[in-house]
């Protein structure tokens, strides 16, 4: 799509109040650039203040450096009046730093601090985000959480990461009925990407075919605009349309 077509397609975002976490790099940065270009009133969050400042330099936005796993930082987040239109809870990490040896991602051999780190950012950070933004979510507004294809199936190379993204999918599906009860059209969705070329990917996997962050940014925009409450989508390859992944039907609990 050319720039003129993109600007036209993003016109619906103009002056919308959006919040993007993990906006300093990767998917969050690609989404932030689209939001700023479309004329959003964008609040951008990242733990890396320098990276956030670089993104914020491209246009009008509110950069806010914070740790998404810290409830005190969420309490200090500036909130728009009358509320958020669209939120992307996108901040995330894999279990070990990209340059760490593979055993640092192995559930059996890794430093247990790696486990606590990935759960803190990927799970606790999303929980705090939902708790913070739902009271300020505009009628018809939408939250999209970035999960992973590893949150739908087991992922042996990084079990803790897979666990954390399963938790995000479960959170989205659990919160959706609560939003429905509010009867104001608010929605919560999840995007589950396959491999994406971002800074959190371990060096051992960087030679594999991966999608560019802009591909998933587009999926988040689509979910903001038209995703159904509780919808979980998986996107594995750029040329293959995203698929909706429905919950299995289970017998009654009692």
Whole-angstrom CA distances from 240 to 2, 231, 237 are 20, 18, 5
Contacts with 65 (C-beta within 8 Å, 6 or more apart), sequence order: 45, 46, 47, 48, 49, 52
Q: Which two tokens stand for residue 214?
A: 């802009």
Rounded to a whole number of angstroms, the distance between the first and last alpha carbons of the chain is 51
SS3 call for 151: helix
Choice among 115, 155, 161, 235 that is catalytic: 161
Choice among 11, 155, 165, 235 that is catalytic: 165
* Cα 234 to Cα 222: distance, rounded to the nearest angstrom: 13
Annotated catalytic residue 235: no
Annotated catalytic residue 115: no
The H or E element that residue 181 is part of is: helix 159-182
- Residues annotated as part of the active site: 161, 165
């Amino acid at each position: 799509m050319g720039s003129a077509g993109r600007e036209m397609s993003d016109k619906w975002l103009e002056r919308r109040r959006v919040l993007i976490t993990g906006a300093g790099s990767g998917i969050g940065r690609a989404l932030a650039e689209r939001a700023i270009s479309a004329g959003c009133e964008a609040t951008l969050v990242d733990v890396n203040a320098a990276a956030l400042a670089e993104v914020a330099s491209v246009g009008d936005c509110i950069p806010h450096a914070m740790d998404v796993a810290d409830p005190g930082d969420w309490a200090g987040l500036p909130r728009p009046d009358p509320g958020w239109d669209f939120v992307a809870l996108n901040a995330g990490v894999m279990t070990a730093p990209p340059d760490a040896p593979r055993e640092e991602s192995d559930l059996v051999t890794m430093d247990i601090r790696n486990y606590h780190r990935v759960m803190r950012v990927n799970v606790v950070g999303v929980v705090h985000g939902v708790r913070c933004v739902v009271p300020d979510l505009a009628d018809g507004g939408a939250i999209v959480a970035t999960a992973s294809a590893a949150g739908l199936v087991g992922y042996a190379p990084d079990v803790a990461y897979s666990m954390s993204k399963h938790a995000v999918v479960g959170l989205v599906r659990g919160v959706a009925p609560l939003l429905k009860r509010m009867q104001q059209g608010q929605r919560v969705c999840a995007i589950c990407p396959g491999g994406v070329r971002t800074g959190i990917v371990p060096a051992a996997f960087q030679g594999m075919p991966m999608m560019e962050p802009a591909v998933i940014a587009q999926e988040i925009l689509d979910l903001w605009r038209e995703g159904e409450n509780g919808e979980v989508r998986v996107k594995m390859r750029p040329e293959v349309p995203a698929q909706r992944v429905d919950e299995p039907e289970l017998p009654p609990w009692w």
